[in-house]
Amino acid sequence: MKKNLFLFASLLAIVLVSCKTPPKEDYSWVKKGIDVASAQLKFTTTEIADSAMLPRSIWVGYEMDFLCEQLGRDSMTFKDSLRLKPIQRLGQRRLAGIYDWTSGFFPGTLWYTYELTGDNALKQQAIKFTNLLYPVRKYTGTHDLGFMMNCSFGNAGRLSPSDTIPSILQQTADNLISRYNPQIGAIRSWDFGKWNFPVIIDNMMNLDLLFNVSKLTGDPRYKDVAIKHAYKTMKYHFRPDYSSYHVISYNDDGSVEYRNTHQGKNDESSWARGQSWAVYGYISCYRETGDKAFLDFAVNIADFIMSRVKTDDLIPLWDYDAPDTPETPRDASAASIVASAFIELSTIVPDGGKYLDYAVTIMKNLSSDAYLAKVGENQGFILMHSTGSLPNGSEIDTPLNYADYYYMEALQRYMELKGLEYKDL
């Protein structure tokens, strides 16, 4: 009898233990990121309240020996590309005008932070800084119109619809597809340099504008151009290991003129942010078309990224082939883009868990004190330690507004995936 009672008690204990509520997942890093972002954005909007400019980064300098070491080149081979910094501005906030390629990221970051918090003060600032970009709808001088207008007015259309937004985006998209050359099959990126018809991997990110406008208008022209550009890029921009060149220049007949870099270590290196643009762009293409060729390609790029990033915190060096030294700058912007892309990818593929785990590791590290700014510091930017264009001596180990944008987008995607609301964090 005693033996039976002991057995019963043991079984009861096992049942009680198994019925215990599993430990609640720790989302403190999510709340920390959102709270810092909200405070930093409010600080910044107060500081630049009377300006018609938008925050881009912080002015920083560089040492020539450092650049030579990073690039493995003598300074004479890239001296003409270096940009002199205004010494008196070092350490100060760098502002940019509405025609700068980064102009849409600050209002877009405000929109995402408003979406996450429901804070109407942030919404009003998002509206204000988005409206600054209204003249850009007529601009034809860049391929970056997607960054500029879809990140700003595109998010405004989601979160605060108005009758004018679709026409603004359509006019912008008309200007973007005017840069499409049907003989070549791609959208021209730059209007400068030695190239005949340069296309950069970054251009994959501007296709979302065309997909968006195609849905808004019901006009397939925009989507058709986006698909043709994506296929052309898929065919010529990538190496067998699915790493991407930065720049491909085409001859008038659509054949390749040059394969090289403008922002990476060398022509054959894997510039970190370029790989991020690539995986994000092809995930978007799959989302908008359902074409499995785009998904398969995105998965191959994603797996390449995971195989090449060797840093302990998964925040990559500015170029995957840069010297692996403590002095080599990281690129938090490349990491935040990958995190946002991988969160979406995790919802599409059967083995999505590995991509979500990778993204969450990035986001937890970006939300740590190593990368997340202290409130009132970092000139109001959210993240530290990004690299813009090292070979040009531009924005090296500094905050960047697009790092902040994709960090907030990743937080929004994660919150949506987990069914979380800010008030419950």
Distances (CA, A) of 96 to 22, 48, 57: 49, 12, 9
Q: Please pick, among 80, 119, 144, 253, the residue that the annotation labels catalytic.
A: 144
Query: Is residue 343 a contact partner of residue 417, using CB atoms and an 8 Å limit?
Result: yes
Q: Based on the residue annotation, tell me whether 324 is a catalytic residue of this protein.
A: no
Q: Which residue has the tokens 């890093």?
A: 29
- Report d(CA 134, CA 152) in Å as an integer: 10
Q: Please pick, among 26, 74, 119, 202, the residue that the annotation labels catalytic.
A: 202
Query: Is residue 149 a contact partner of residue 172, using CB atoms and an 8 Å limit?
Result: yes
- Report d(CA 278, CA 246) in Å as an integer: 10
- Report d(CA 271, CA 242) in Å as an integer: 13
CA proximity to 289, closest of 352, 230, 363, 367:
230
Distances (CA, A) of 200 to 188, 238, 289, 303, 325: 9, 12, 22, 21, 28
Q: Based on the residue annotation, tell me whether 253 is a catalytic residue of this protein.
A: no
- What does DSSP say about strands 186-187 and 198-200: parallel, antiparallel, or unpaired? unpaired
| E-assigned strand segments in 2-84 | 54-58
**At 137, which helix (H) or strand (E)?**
none
| 58 φ, ψ (degrees, to nearest 5) | -120, 135
Catalytic residues: 144, 202
